[in-house]
Amino acid sequence: MNDRELFKAYKEQVYRLCYYMLQNRGDAEDVCQEVFVKAILADRSQIRELRPWLLRIASNECNSLLKRRRNGWVKETLAYLLSRPEISNSVEENYDARETRAAFHGLLSSLPDKIRIVVILRYANELTIPEISKVIQIPEGTIKSRLNRGMELLRKKLGPIEKQKKKGEDLEWSNSVNMK
């Protein structure tokens, strides 16, 4: 089966899987395209059943995208907290900024030293992985694993904080309703 026939025969099935997993038409189209690019570039001579093989590639690609999305919000939150402007006008804003900074430094200080340095170099100093490797003289693979571990630890530590915030917001809301 040539590339064109492969695409025509399985495009709808692959797209359907991607769409149901991602719940977004644009993302499903992008992932579907990636699946067929990988399939076209791969050696298909040893593959007996193309359909399950293609759907496995699609499933893995969708899971990778979903995982990147989950990791993305932690990275964006970290980048936001690091890039917040220092200038604020009101006392309340100053207090919030100090409280946020203290919470952030608390989270960072709870990381093991080896992981903390990599996270700080990557997100506070905006160094690339090869640059970090040169700075602390360890292999790039180790940098990547420490970054991954650091983000995982931060995600776990942010989970309870977010739950406490939501409980606090619920209490504030219920108190304001009771007062009226």
State pLDDT tens for residues 28-45.
999 999 999 999 999 988
Q: In CATH, which of 3.40.50.720, 1.10.1740.10, 3.40.228.10, 3.40.50.300 is domain 3-70?
A: 1.10.1740.10
**CB-CB contact of 55 with 11 (8 Å):** no
What is the rounded distance in angstroms from the CA atom of residue 31 to the CA atom of residue 64? 10
State pLDDT tens for residues 95-144.
777 787 777 777 777 888 888 888 877 877 777 898 888 888 899 999 99
In the CATH scheme, what is the code of domain 84-179? 1.10.10.10
Note if the pTM is more than 0.75.
no
Task: Spell out the domain ranges in the chain.
Answer: 3-70, 84-179
